[in-house]
Amino acid sequence: MNLAQLKKLKEQIYQIAAKYGVKEIFVFGSVARGDETNLSDVDFLIEMKSGASAFGVGAFQFEVQKLLGIQIDVVPTFALSGVDDKNFVHSLQREAVAL
């Protein structure tokens, strides 16, 4: 799945996001860079609304994965502060594209 295909599903993805307290959605990784393959998953960086449950991250992942029919990975922005590999964090932030 490429970025253009994802953007066609943006409204449906944001409807799912609204149910679980997801405020903003970004795509990173191979799909954001445009070098995805048929075997690529989709990597999402999500910002949760203030007071939203961490349960919402998993529920969002489950429903979006079901919608897309492919493996996705979801990284909430609140988890970035705990990542030791700061180069990874900077790379992720640099290449993230708003959905």
Residue 98 has pLDDT above 90, yes or no: yes
Mean pLDDT score of the chain, rounded to an integer? Answer: 95
pTM for the model stands at 0.92
From the number of C-beta atoms within 10 Å of its C-beta (0-12, 13-18, 19+), residue 38 rates as exposed
Can you list the domains of the chain with their CATH numbers?
3-98 (3.30.460.10)
Q: How do residues 64-94 score in pLDDT, each as one tens digit?
A: 999 999 999 999 999 998 889 989 888 888 9
What string of H, E and C letters represents the secondary structure of the chain?
A: CCHHHHHHCHHHHHHHHHHCCEEEEEEECHHHHCCCCCCCCEEEEEEECCCCCCHHHHHHHHHHHHHHCCCEEEEEHHHHHHCCCHHHHHHHHHHCEEC
pLDDT at 53: 87
Q: How do residues 13-42 score in pLDDT, each as one tens digit?
A: 999 999 999 999 999 999 999 999 999 999
pLDDT at 82: 87
Q: How many CB atoms lie within 10 A of CB 73?
A: 13
d(CA 29, CA 51): 28
Q: How do residues 52-72 score in pLDDT, each as one tens digit?
A: 888 999 999 999 999 999 999
